[in-house]
Structure 1
Amino acid sequence: MLRYALPGHDETRIDLFIYPFGQDRAEAALDHGMRDFVASLRTAEREGRFRALSMSDAVAFDLGQAPADGDGPGKRRRDRRGSGDADVERMLMEALAAVDRRIRGRRLDLAFEYPGQVEGDWFAMHSRGYLFYRHLYFFKGRVSATAARIDRGRFAALADRAMRELVPAVQAYNVGGCADTTLHVDPGLPRREMQQMLLRGMVAAQASLEAGNCRDAADEAELAALSHDAELVLVEYPADDWRD
Protein backbone atom coordinates (compact mmCIF):
# COMPACT_ATOMS: atom_id res chain seq x y z
CA MET A 1 0.00 0.00 0.00
CA LEU A 2 1.17 3.51 -0.84
CA ARG A 3 -0.20 6.34 1.31
CA TYR A 4 -0.15 9.96 0.20
CA ALA A 5 -1.02 13.31 1.75
CA LEU A 6 -1.66 16.71 0.21
CA PRO A 7 -0.38 19.87 1.91
CA GLY A 8 -3.28 21.78 3.38
CA HIS A 9 -5.59 18.77 3.28
CA ASP A 10 -4.79 16.82 6.42
CA GLU A 11 -8.45 15.81 6.59
CA THR A 12 -8.01 13.64 3.49
CA ARG A 13 -6.33 10.24 3.30
CA ILE A 14 -5.19 8.89 -0.07
CA ASP A 15 -4.26 5.22 -0.37
CA LEU A 16 -3.15 3.32 -3.45
CA PHE A 17 -3.01 -0.48 -3.41
CA ILE A 18 -1.24 -2.38 -6.20
CA TYR A 19 -1.68 -6.12 -6.63
CA PRO A 20 -1.27 -8.66 -9.45
CA PHE A 21 -4.02 -9.92 -11.69
CA GLY A 22 -2.65 -11.21 -15.01
CA GLN A 23 -3.49 -10.90 -18.69
CA ASP A 24 -7.06 -10.20 -19.74
CA ARG A 25 -9.15 -7.68 -21.63
CA ALA A 26 -9.43 -4.47 -19.63
CA GLU A 27 -13.22 -4.56 -19.29
CA ALA A 28 -13.26 -8.21 -18.20
CA ALA A 29 -10.47 -7.56 -15.69
CA LEU A 30 -12.30 -4.55 -14.25
CA ASP A 31 -15.56 -6.48 -13.95
CA HIS A 32 -13.70 -9.12 -11.93
CA GLY A 33 -11.86 -6.56 -9.82
CA MET A 34 -14.94 -4.50 -9.02
CA ARG A 35 -16.82 -7.55 -7.76
CA ASP A 36 -13.97 -8.23 -5.34
CA PHE A 37 -13.72 -4.54 -4.39
CA VAL A 38 -17.41 -4.26 -3.51
CA ALA A 39 -17.31 -7.56 -1.62
CA SER A 40 -14.33 -6.34 0.44
CA LEU A 41 -16.22 -3.19 1.43
CA ARG A 42 -19.24 -5.22 2.53
CA THR A 43 -16.97 -7.49 4.56
CA ALA A 44 -15.29 -4.51 6.24
CA GLU A 45 -18.70 -3.14 7.23
CA ARG A 46 -19.75 -6.48 8.72
CA GLU A 47 -16.51 -6.59 10.70
CA GLY A 48 -17.29 -3.19 12.22
CA ARG A 49 -14.48 -1.20 10.65
CA PHE A 50 -17.13 1.33 9.64
CA ARG A 51 -20.93 1.45 9.55
CA ALA A 52 -23.83 2.91 7.53
CA LEU A 53 -22.06 2.23 4.24
CA SER A 54 -23.75 3.58 1.12
CA MET A 55 -22.33 2.91 -2.31
CA SER A 56 -23.15 4.10 -5.82
CA ASP A 57 -23.02 1.96 -8.92
CA ALA A 58 -19.58 1.89 -10.49
CA VAL A 59 -19.00 4.30 -13.38
CA ALA A 60 -16.23 4.42 -15.95
CA PHE A 61 -13.28 6.57 -14.91
CA ASP A 62 -10.59 6.31 -17.57
CA LEU A 63 -7.39 8.29 -17.26
CA GLY A 64 -5.86 10.18 -20.15
CA GLN A 65 -3.51 8.55 -22.60
CA ALA A 66 -0.57 7.00 -20.80
CA PRO A 67 2.76 8.68 -21.59
CA ALA A 68 4.66 7.02 -24.41
CA ASP A 69 7.71 5.06 -23.29
CA GLY A 70 10.21 5.79 -26.05
CA ASP A 71 12.76 3.31 -24.70
CA GLY A 72 10.26 0.72 -23.52
CA PRO A 73 9.61 -2.86 -24.58
CA GLY A 74 7.95 -2.02 -27.88
CA LYS A 75 10.82 0.11 -29.16
CA ARG A 76 13.37 -2.64 -28.53
CA ARG A 77 11.21 -5.13 -30.40
CA ARG A 78 10.98 -2.75 -33.36
CA ASP A 79 14.73 -2.14 -33.31
CA ARG A 80 15.41 -5.88 -33.49
CA ARG A 81 13.26 -6.23 -36.59
CA GLY A 82 15.61 -4.09 -38.66
CA SER A 83 14.54 -1.87 -41.52
CA GLY A 84 12.32 -4.43 -43.29
CA ASP A 85 9.70 -3.35 -45.77
CA ALA A 86 9.40 0.45 -45.68
CA ASP A 87 5.68 0.41 -46.49
CA VAL A 88 4.94 -2.10 -43.72
CA GLU A 89 7.02 -0.08 -41.27
CA ARG A 90 5.19 3.12 -42.19
CA MET A 91 1.78 1.46 -41.86
CA LEU A 92 2.85 -0.03 -38.53
CA MET A 93 3.85 3.36 -37.16
CA GLU A 94 0.56 4.90 -38.29
CA ALA A 95 -1.46 2.07 -36.75
CA LEU A 96 0.47 2.26 -33.48
CA ALA A 97 -0.12 6.00 -33.29
CA ALA A 98 -3.87 5.29 -33.35
CA VAL A 99 -3.79 2.70 -30.52
CA ASP A 100 -5.97 3.68 -27.55
CA ARG A 101 -3.57 4.01 -24.61
CA ARG A 102 -6.01 5.27 -22.03
CA ILE A 103 -5.78 3.70 -18.58
CA ARG A 104 -9.13 1.99 -18.07
CA GLY A 105 -10.78 2.38 -14.69
CA ARG A 106 -13.95 2.48 -12.61
CA ARG A 107 -15.07 4.70 -9.74
CA LEU A 108 -17.41 4.24 -6.78
CA ASP A 109 -18.93 7.01 -4.67
CA LEU A 110 -19.01 5.94 -1.03
CA ALA A 111 -20.20 7.31 2.29
CA PHE A 112 -19.95 5.75 5.73
CA GLU A 113 -19.41 6.47 9.41
CA TYR A 114 -15.98 5.83 10.89
CA PRO A 115 -15.36 5.15 14.60
CA GLY A 116 -13.53 7.76 16.64
CA GLN A 117 -11.05 7.16 19.44
CA VAL A 118 -13.73 7.66 22.09
CA GLU A 119 -16.22 4.82 22.36
CA GLY A 120 -19.54 5.78 20.83
CA ASP A 121 -18.10 8.51 18.58
CA TRP A 122 -18.73 8.07 14.86
CA PHE A 123 -17.72 10.49 12.12
CA ALA A 124 -19.43 10.88 8.76
CA MET A 125 -16.96 10.33 5.92
CA HIS A 126 -16.82 11.21 2.24
CA SER A 127 -15.08 8.52 0.23
CA ARG A 128 -14.37 7.42 -3.31
CA GLY A 129 -13.03 4.09 -4.50
CA TYR A 130 -11.15 3.61 -7.77
CA LEU A 131 -9.96 0.58 -9.68
CA PHE A 132 -7.63 0.64 -12.69
CA TYR A 133 -6.22 -2.23 -14.73
CA ARG A 134 -2.69 -1.37 -15.78
CA HIS A 135 0.53 -3.28 -16.43
CA LEU A 136 -1.19 -6.61 -15.58
CA TYR A 137 -2.00 -5.27 -12.11
CA PHE A 138 -4.93 -3.72 -10.34
CA PHE A 139 -4.33 -0.21 -9.02
CA LYS A 140 -6.97 0.31 -6.33
CA GLY A 141 -7.40 3.79 -4.91
CA ARG A 142 -9.26 4.80 -1.77
CA VAL A 143 -9.66 8.47 -0.90
CA SER A 144 -11.55 9.40 2.27
CA ALA A 145 -12.11 12.58 4.28
CA THR A 146 -14.07 13.71 7.32
CA ALA A 147 -17.30 15.18 5.95
CA ALA A 148 -17.36 17.97 8.54
CA ARG A 149 -14.05 19.35 7.26
CA ILE A 150 -14.57 19.43 3.48
CA ASP A 151 -17.71 19.64 1.35
CA ARG A 152 -18.61 16.85 -1.05
CA GLY A 153 -17.89 18.83 -4.23
CA ARG A 154 -14.39 19.89 -3.17
CA PHE A 155 -13.65 16.39 -1.93
CA ALA A 156 -14.76 14.78 -5.21
CA ALA A 157 -12.56 17.10 -7.27
CA LEU A 158 -9.59 16.48 -4.97
CA ALA A 159 -10.02 12.69 -5.08
CA ASP A 160 -10.27 12.58 -8.88
CA ARG A 161 -7.22 14.81 -9.24
CA ALA A 162 -5.22 12.57 -6.90
CA MET A 163 -5.91 9.49 -9.04
CA ARG A 164 -5.18 11.32 -12.29
CA GLU A 165 -1.78 12.33 -10.98
CA LEU A 166 -0.76 9.28 -8.97
CA VAL A 167 -1.78 6.28 -11.06
CA PRO A 168 0.11 7.21 -14.27
CA ALA A 169 3.18 8.02 -12.17
CA VAL A 170 3.47 4.48 -10.76
CA GLN A 171 4.74 1.68 -13.00
CA ALA A 172 4.63 -2.07 -12.61
CA TYR A 173 7.71 -3.26 -14.51
CA ASN A 174 7.15 -6.86 -15.63
CA VAL A 175 9.80 -9.35 -16.71
CA GLY A 176 9.07 -12.80 -18.06
CA GLY A 177 6.73 -14.72 -20.31
CA CYS A 178 4.28 -11.85 -20.73
CA ALA A 179 6.77 -10.47 -23.29
CA ASP A 180 6.37 -13.52 -25.55
CA THR A 181 4.34 -12.92 -28.71
CA THR A 182 3.29 -15.16 -31.59
CA LEU A 183 2.24 -13.86 -35.00
CA HIS A 184 0.07 -16.00 -37.28
CA VAL A 185 0.16 -15.35 -41.03
CA ASP A 186 -1.51 -17.38 -43.78
CA PRO A 187 1.23 -18.03 -46.38
CA GLY A 188 -1.42 -18.73 -49.00
CA LEU A 189 -2.71 -15.15 -49.03
CA PRO A 190 -1.76 -12.62 -51.71
CA ARG A 191 1.23 -10.51 -50.71
CA ARG A 192 -0.80 -7.39 -49.87
CA GLU A 193 -3.29 -9.29 -47.70
CA MET A 194 -0.43 -11.11 -46.00
CA GLN A 195 1.18 -7.76 -45.17
CA GLN A 196 -2.08 -6.48 -43.71
CA MET A 197 -2.54 -9.63 -41.63
CA LEU A 198 1.03 -9.33 -40.38
CA LEU A 199 0.47 -5.66 -39.62
CA ARG A 200 -2.61 -6.37 -37.52
CA GLY A 201 -0.70 -9.01 -35.58
CA MET A 202 2.26 -6.69 -35.00
CA VAL A 203 0.02 -3.87 -33.79
CA ALA A 204 -1.81 -6.21 -31.40
CA ALA A 205 1.50 -7.59 -30.09
CA GLN A 206 2.95 -4.11 -29.62
CA ALA A 207 -0.18 -2.88 -27.84
CA SER A 208 -0.06 -5.92 -25.55
CA LEU A 209 3.59 -5.31 -24.67
CA GLU A 210 2.92 -1.67 -23.85
CA ALA A 211 -0.25 -2.40 -21.87
CA GLY A 212 1.55 -5.04 -19.82
CA ASN A 213 4.82 -3.08 -19.54
CA CYS A 214 6.50 -6.41 -20.32
CA ARG A 215 10.13 -7.24 -21.04
CA ASP A 216 11.78 -10.56 -21.64
CA ALA A 217 14.72 -9.49 -19.44
CA ALA A 218 15.38 -6.69 -16.99
CA ASP A 219 17.25 -3.72 -18.42
CA GLU A 220 19.48 -2.37 -15.66
CA ALA A 221 20.04 0.97 -17.39
CA GLU A 222 16.31 1.42 -17.85
CA LEU A 223 15.65 0.53 -14.20
CA ALA A 224 18.30 3.01 -13.10
CA ALA A 225 16.64 5.74 -15.17
CA LEU A 226 13.19 4.90 -13.81
CA SER A 227 14.41 4.99 -10.23
CA HIS A 228 16.17 8.35 -10.59
CA ASP A 229 14.42 10.73 -8.17
CA ALA A 230 11.92 7.96 -7.43
CA GLU A 231 11.62 4.90 -5.24
CA LEU A 232 12.07 1.47 -6.82
CA VAL A 233 10.24 -1.27 -4.91
CA LEU A 234 10.91 -4.92 -5.75
CA VAL A 235 7.92 -7.14 -5.03
CA GLU A 236 8.14 -10.89 -5.59
CA TYR A 237 4.75 -12.59 -5.81
CA PRO A 238 4.24 -16.34 -5.47
CA ALA A 239 2.89 -17.90 -8.66
CA ASP A 240 -0.40 -18.67 -6.88
CA ASP A 241 -1.07 -14.93 -6.52
CA TRP A 242 -1.47 -14.63 -10.30
CA ARG A 243 -4.67 -15.45 -12.09
CA ASP A 244 -4.46 -18.56 -14.29
Structure 2
Amino acid sequence: MVGCRVLFFACMLGGAPVALSATPDGPPASSRAYIETSYLAAPRNVGPFTLARSSYNPAAKVSGAGFHYAMAEHPELNIDVFVYPAGQRAQAEAIEHGMIAFREDLAAARKQGTYSRLDELDQSRFVLTSEGVPKSIPANAVDAKVIAAIADAERIVGEKLQLSMDLSSSGMPLLSNGYLFYKQLYYIKVRVSAAQQAVAQSRFDALADQAARALVPAIQVSNVGGCTDLTVHLDAKATPDQGAVEMARQIKTHLGLNCRGSTKQAGIEELVETAEVIEIAYDPSEWKSQ
Protein backbone atom coordinates (compact mmCIF):
# COMPACT_ATOMS: atom_id res chain seq x y z
CA MET A 1 0.00 0.00 0.00
CA VAL A 2 2.87 2.36 0.82
CA GLY A 3 4.44 1.74 -2.58
CA CYS A 4 1.23 2.49 -4.48
CA ARG A 5 0.60 5.78 -2.77
CA VAL A 6 4.19 7.07 -2.86
CA LEU A 7 4.56 6.19 -6.53
CA PHE A 8 1.44 8.26 -7.21
CA PHE A 9 3.12 11.24 -5.57
CA ALA A 10 6.31 10.53 -7.51
CA CYS A 11 4.38 10.94 -10.75
CA MET A 12 2.85 14.18 -9.48
CA LEU A 13 6.19 15.69 -8.49
CA GLY A 14 8.34 14.97 -11.51
CA GLY A 15 10.08 12.47 -13.72
CA ALA A 16 13.29 11.73 -11.84
CA PRO A 17 14.40 8.07 -12.05
CA VAL A 18 13.21 6.67 -8.72
CA ALA A 19 14.14 3.49 -6.87
CA LEU A 20 12.35 2.59 -3.66
CA SER A 21 14.24 1.19 -0.70
CA ALA A 22 13.02 0.09 2.70
CA THR A 23 16.56 -0.11 4.09
CA PRO A 24 18.89 2.64 5.35
CA ASP A 25 21.69 1.58 3.00
CA GLY A 26 23.23 4.20 0.71
CA PRO A 27 22.11 4.60 -2.90
CA PRO A 28 23.73 2.40 -5.55
CA ALA A 29 26.66 3.95 -7.36
CA SER A 30 25.84 5.40 -10.76
CA SER A 31 27.96 4.43 -13.75
CA ARG A 32 28.31 8.16 -14.44
CA ALA A 33 30.18 10.73 -12.41
CA TYR A 34 27.83 12.42 -9.98
CA ILE A 35 28.40 15.75 -11.74
CA GLU A 36 29.96 15.83 -15.20
CA THR A 37 29.16 19.43 -16.04
CA SER A 38 27.47 22.34 -14.32
CA TYR A 39 26.00 25.29 -16.20
CA LEU A 40 25.79 28.51 -14.19
CA ALA A 41 23.23 30.83 -15.77
CA ALA A 42 22.95 34.47 -14.72
CA PRO A 43 20.18 36.45 -16.49
CA ARG A 44 21.34 39.62 -18.20
CA ASN A 45 18.36 41.49 -16.80
CA VAL A 46 16.48 40.86 -13.55
CA GLY A 47 14.01 43.64 -12.83
CA PRO A 48 16.09 46.79 -12.19
CA PHE A 49 19.35 44.81 -12.12
CA THR A 50 21.59 44.48 -15.20
CA LEU A 51 24.50 42.08 -15.56
CA ALA A 52 27.65 44.11 -16.17
CA ARG A 53 30.30 41.37 -16.32
CA SER A 54 31.13 37.84 -15.29
CA SER A 55 34.29 36.00 -14.32
CA TYR A 56 35.47 32.40 -14.14
CA ASN A 57 38.91 30.79 -13.88
CA PRO A 58 38.93 27.14 -15.10
CA ALA A 59 42.06 26.56 -13.03
CA ALA A 60 40.09 27.38 -9.86
CA LYS A 61 36.82 25.47 -10.26
CA VAL A 62 36.27 25.35 -6.52
CA SER A 63 35.90 29.14 -6.58
CA GLY A 64 33.08 28.93 -9.11
CA ALA A 65 32.01 32.01 -11.04
CA GLY A 66 31.29 35.64 -10.24
CA PHE A 67 28.62 37.94 -11.65
CA HIS A 68 28.62 41.72 -11.20
CA TYR A 69 25.27 43.48 -11.44
CA ALA A 70 24.42 47.17 -11.65
CA MET A 71 21.29 49.04 -10.63
CA ALA A 72 20.81 52.06 -12.90
CA GLU A 73 18.96 54.16 -10.33
CA HIS A 74 21.55 53.41 -7.66
CA PRO A 75 25.04 53.50 -9.21
CA GLU A 76 26.51 53.83 -5.72
CA LEU A 77 25.86 50.12 -5.14
CA ASN A 78 28.39 47.41 -5.94
CA ILE A 79 26.48 44.13 -6.37
CA ASP A 80 28.39 40.88 -6.77
CA VAL A 81 27.07 37.33 -6.85
CA PHE A 82 29.43 34.39 -6.38
CA VAL A 83 28.31 30.87 -7.32
CA TYR A 84 30.56 28.00 -6.22
CA PRO A 85 30.21 24.24 -5.57
CA ALA A 86 29.01 22.98 -2.21
CA GLY A 87 28.12 19.32 -2.79
CA GLN A 88 25.03 17.50 -1.56
CA ARG A 89 24.13 18.47 1.99
CA ALA A 90 21.09 19.23 4.06
CA GLN A 91 20.36 22.94 3.66
CA ALA A 92 20.96 23.85 7.31
CA GLU A 93 24.25 21.95 7.39
CA ALA A 94 25.39 23.56 4.14
CA ILE A 95 24.67 27.06 5.44
CA GLU A 96 26.44 26.36 8.73
CA HIS A 97 29.60 25.22 6.93
CA GLY A 98 29.30 28.00 4.36
CA MET A 99 29.10 30.73 6.99
CA ILE A 100 32.25 29.44 8.66
CA ALA A 101 34.08 29.70 5.32
CA PHE A 102 32.49 33.12 4.69
CA ARG A 103 33.93 34.49 7.94
CA GLU A 104 37.29 32.89 7.23
CA ASP A 105 37.40 34.69 3.87
CA LEU A 106 36.59 38.01 5.55
CA ALA A 107 39.29 37.45 8.16
CA ALA A 108 41.80 36.59 5.42
CA ALA A 109 40.93 39.79 3.54
CA ARG A 110 41.49 41.81 6.71
CA LYS A 111 44.80 40.05 7.36
CA GLN A 112 45.95 40.63 3.78
CA GLY A 113 45.29 44.35 4.18
CA THR A 114 42.17 44.80 2.05
CA TYR A 115 40.36 46.33 5.02
CA SER A 116 41.86 48.40 7.81
CA ARG A 117 38.67 47.93 9.85
CA LEU A 118 36.06 45.20 9.65
CA ASP A 119 33.11 45.04 12.03
CA GLU A 120 30.28 42.54 12.02
CA LEU A 121 27.07 44.36 12.93
CA ASP A 122 24.50 41.57 12.80
CA GLN A 123 23.66 38.12 11.46
CA SER A 124 20.10 37.04 10.76
CA ARG A 125 18.10 34.36 9.01
CA PHE A 126 17.04 35.33 5.48
CA VAL A 127 14.18 33.44 3.83
CA LEU A 128 13.40 33.70 0.14
CA THR A 129 9.65 33.64 -0.36
CA SER A 130 7.90 32.08 -3.35
CA GLU A 131 5.68 34.97 -4.36
CA GLY A 132 3.10 34.40 -7.04
CA VAL A 133 3.11 30.61 -6.63
CA PRO A 134 -0.47 29.31 -6.46
CA LYS A 135 -1.39 27.68 -3.19
CA SER A 136 -2.56 24.07 -3.35
CA ILE A 137 -5.76 23.31 -1.49
CA PRO A 138 -5.51 20.03 0.45
CA ALA A 139 -8.35 17.56 0.00
CA ASN A 140 -7.64 15.88 3.32
CA ALA A 141 -5.18 15.70 6.20
CA VAL A 142 -2.68 13.59 4.25
CA ASP A 143 -2.71 16.04 1.35
CA ALA A 144 -2.07 18.85 3.81
CA LYS A 145 1.00 17.06 5.18
CA VAL A 146 2.31 16.31 1.68
CA ILE A 147 1.83 19.93 0.60
CA ALA A 148 3.62 21.11 3.75
CA ALA A 149 6.51 18.71 3.08
CA ILE A 150 6.83 19.96 -0.50
CA ALA A 151 6.76 23.60 0.62
CA ASP A 152 9.44 22.89 3.22
CA ALA A 153 11.66 21.19 0.62
CA GLU A 154 11.25 24.16 -1.75
CA ARG A 155 12.00 26.85 0.83
CA ILE A 156 15.40 28.52 0.48
CA VAL A 157 16.67 29.69 3.85
CA GLY A 158 19.97 31.54 4.01
CA GLU A 159 21.87 33.91 6.26
CA LYS A 160 22.39 37.66 6.10
CA LEU A 161 25.56 39.25 7.47
CA GLN A 162 25.66 43.02 7.99
CA LEU A 163 29.14 44.53 7.96
CA SER A 164 30.90 47.87 8.30
CA MET A 165 34.46 48.33 7.09
CA ASP A 166 37.16 50.74 5.97
CA LEU A 167 39.12 50.20 2.77
CA SER A 168 42.86 50.18 3.42
CA SER A 169 43.66 51.76 0.06
CA SER A 170 41.56 54.90 0.58
CA GLY A 171 40.32 54.77 4.15
CA MET A 172 36.78 54.98 2.79
CA PRO A 173 34.12 53.65 5.19
CA LEU A 174 31.80 51.13 3.55
CA LEU A 175 28.45 49.59 4.28
CA SER A 176 28.37 45.96 3.18
CA ASN A 177 25.85 43.15 3.40
CA GLY A 178 26.59 39.52 2.63
CA TYR A 179 23.97 36.85 1.93
CA LEU A 180 24.62 33.13 1.70
CA PHE A 181 22.28 30.50 0.26
CA TYR A 182 22.49 26.83 -0.73
CA LYS A 183 20.78 25.95 -3.98
CA GLN A 184 21.16 23.29 -6.68
CA LEU A 185 24.33 21.80 -5.10
CA TYR A 186 26.02 25.21 -5.06
CA TYR A 187 26.47 28.13 -2.72
CA ILE A 188 25.18 31.47 -3.91
CA LYS A 189 26.77 34.37 -2.06
CA VAL A 190 25.62 37.93 -2.64
CA ARG A 191 27.77 40.90 -1.59
CA VAL A 192 26.34 44.41 -1.77
CA SER A 193 28.52 47.37 -0.78
CA ALA A 194 28.39 51.16 -0.90
CA ALA A 195 30.27 54.11 0.55
CA GLN A 196 28.73 55.09 3.89
CA GLN A 197 28.48 58.71 2.78
CA ALA A 198 26.50 57.75 -0.34
CA VAL A 199 23.45 56.13 1.23
CA ALA A 200 21.70 55.89 4.60
CA GLN A 201 22.00 52.58 6.45
CA SER A 202 18.26 51.82 6.35
CA ARG A 203 18.01 52.59 2.64
CA PHE A 204 21.11 50.53 1.92
CA ASP A 205 19.70 47.53 3.80
CA ALA A 206 16.44 47.70 1.85
CA LEU A 207 18.24 47.86 -1.51
CA ALA A 208 20.64 45.07 -0.58
CA ASP A 209 17.74 42.86 0.50
CA GLN A 210 15.99 43.63 -2.79
CA ALA A 211 19.07 42.55 -4.73
CA ALA A 212 19.31 39.23 -2.88
CA ARG A 213 15.60 38.48 -3.25
CA ALA A 214 15.71 39.19 -6.98
CA LEU A 215 19.02 37.68 -8.04
CA VAL A 216 19.26 34.45 -6.04
CA PRO A 217 16.04 32.91 -7.44
CA ALA A 218 16.92 34.16 -10.94
CA ILE A 219 20.38 32.59 -11.11
CA GLN A 220 20.17 28.91 -11.98
CA VAL A 221 22.63 26.03 -11.85
CA SER A 222 21.89 23.10 -14.16
CA ASN A 223 23.84 19.94 -13.31
CA VAL A 224 24.43 17.13 -15.81
CA GLY A 225 25.53 13.66 -14.70
CA GLY A 226 24.66 10.72 -12.50
CA CYS A 227 22.98 13.04 -9.99
CA THR A 228 19.74 12.42 -11.90
CA ASP A 229 19.46 9.04 -10.15
CA LEU A 230 17.40 8.94 -6.97
CA THR A 231 16.81 6.21 -4.43
CA VAL A 232 14.02 7.01 -2.00
CA HIS A 233 14.48 5.46 1.43
CA LEU A 234 11.31 4.63 3.33
CA ASP A 235 10.81 3.19 6.78
CA ALA A 236 9.39 -0.31 6.37
CA LYS A 237 7.28 0.32 9.46
CA ALA A 238 5.84 3.58 8.13
CA THR A 239 2.13 3.91 7.54
CA PRO A 240 0.94 4.63 3.98
CA ASP A 241 0.34 8.25 4.95
CA GLN A 242 3.81 8.62 6.45
CA GLY A 243 5.33 7.01 3.36
CA ALA A 244 3.50 9.44 1.09
CA VAL A 245 4.78 12.45 3.02
CA GLU A 246 8.37 11.19 3.11
CA MET A 247 8.28 10.25 -0.57
CA ALA A 248 7.08 13.73 -1.50
CA ARG A 249 9.78 15.37 0.61
CA GLN A 250 12.65 13.31 -0.81
CA ILE A 251 11.57 13.65 -4.43
CA LYS A 252 11.00 17.40 -4.16
CA THR A 253 14.39 17.85 -2.51
CA HIS A 254 16.00 15.85 -5.32
CA LEU A 255 14.24 17.85 -8.03
CA GLY A 256 15.64 20.97 -6.38
CA LEU A 257 19.16 19.82 -7.27
CA ASN A 258 18.26 20.61 -10.91
CA CYS A 259 20.01 17.54 -12.33
CA ARG A 260 19.61 16.52 -15.96
CA GLY A 261 20.81 13.62 -18.06
CA SER A 262 22.19 15.77 -20.88
CA THR A 263 22.91 19.32 -21.96
CA LYS A 264 19.87 19.20 -24.22
CA GLN A 265 17.62 18.21 -21.34
CA ALA A 266 19.06 21.10 -19.34
CA GLY A 267 17.87 23.52 -22.03
CA ILE A 268 21.18 25.34 -22.30
CA GLU A 269 20.60 26.49 -25.89
CA GLU A 270 17.53 28.38 -24.71
CA LEU A 271 19.24 29.76 -21.61
CA VAL A 272 22.06 31.47 -23.52
CA GLU A 273 19.55 33.68 -25.29
CA THR A 274 18.78 35.62 -22.12
CA ALA A 275 21.57 34.72 -19.71
CA GLU A 276 25.32 34.58 -19.36
CA VAL A 277 26.05 30.85 -19.06
CA ILE A 278 29.32 29.59 -17.64
CA GLU A 279 30.16 25.93 -18.20
CA ILE A 280 32.19 24.11 -15.57
CA ALA A 281 33.33 20.65 -16.71
CA TYR A 282 34.50 18.30 -13.98
CA ASP A 283 36.81 15.31 -14.03
CA PRO A 284 35.16 12.16 -12.60
CA SER A 285 37.36 12.33 -9.50
CA GLU A 286 36.26 15.87 -8.66
CA TRP A 287 32.73 14.84 -7.68
CA LYS A 288 33.44 11.46 -6.10
CA SER A 289 31.31 12.28 -3.11
CA GLN A 290 27.72 13.38 -3.31
TM-score of Structure 1 vs Structure 2, range by shorter chain: 0.7 to 0.9
1:154 aligned residue (203, 207, 220): 203
Percent identical among aligned pairs is 35
Alignment partners' CA distance in 2, 1:185 and 1:103? 24
Question: Is 1:208 matched with 2:250?
Answer: no
Alignment partners' CA distance in 2, 1:113 and 1:16? 21
Task: Name whichever structure is richer in strand by fraction.
Answer: 2
Moved more, 59-68 or 169-178: 59-68
Which residue of structure 1 lines up, in the alignment, with residue 90 of structure 2?
A: 25
Query: Structure 1 residues 206 and 92, CA, compared in 2 at 3 Å: closer, same or farther?
Result: farther
Considering Cα pairs closer than 8 Å and 6+ residues apart, tell me whether 1 or 2 has the greater RCO: 2
Moved more, 126-135 or 6-15: 6-15
Which residue of structure 1 lines up, in the alignment, with residue 280 of structure 2?
A: 235
Contact 1:66–1:103 under 8 Å retained in 2: no
Structure 2 portions without partners, runs of 5+: 1-65, 134-141
Instruction: Tell me how large the CA RMSD over aligned residues is.
Output: 2.7
Alignment of 1:7-86 (within 5 A): 7-65=72-130
Alignment of 1:148-187 (within 5 A): 148-184=197-233
Query: Structure 1 residues 48 and 241, CA, compared in 2 at 3 Å: closer, same or farther?
Result: farther
Q: Which amino acid aligns with 2:273?
A: H
Q: Which amino acid aligns with 2:155?
A: R
Which residue of structure 1 lines up, in the alignment, with residue 163 of structure 2?
A: 110
Alignment partners' CA distance in 2, 1:124 and 1:242? 44
Alignment partners' CA distance in 2, 1:171 and 1:225? 13
Alignment partners' CA distance in 1, 2:220 and 2:131? 11
The superposition leaves residues 178-214 of structure 1 with CA deviations (integer Å, 9 ceiling, x where unpaired) of 2221134577x7xx93x43542343133212222112
Query: Structure 1 residues 179 and 92, CA, compared in 2 at 3 Å: closer, same or farther?
Result: farther
Q: TM-score, normalised by structure 2?
A: 0.65
Query: Structure 1 residues 31 and 221, CA, compared in 2 at 3 Å: closer, same or farther?
Result: closer
How many residue pairs were aligned? 214
Query: Structure 1 residues 221 and 243, CA, compared in 2 at 3 Å: closer, same or farther?
Result: closer
Q: TM-score, normalised by structure 1?
A: 0.77
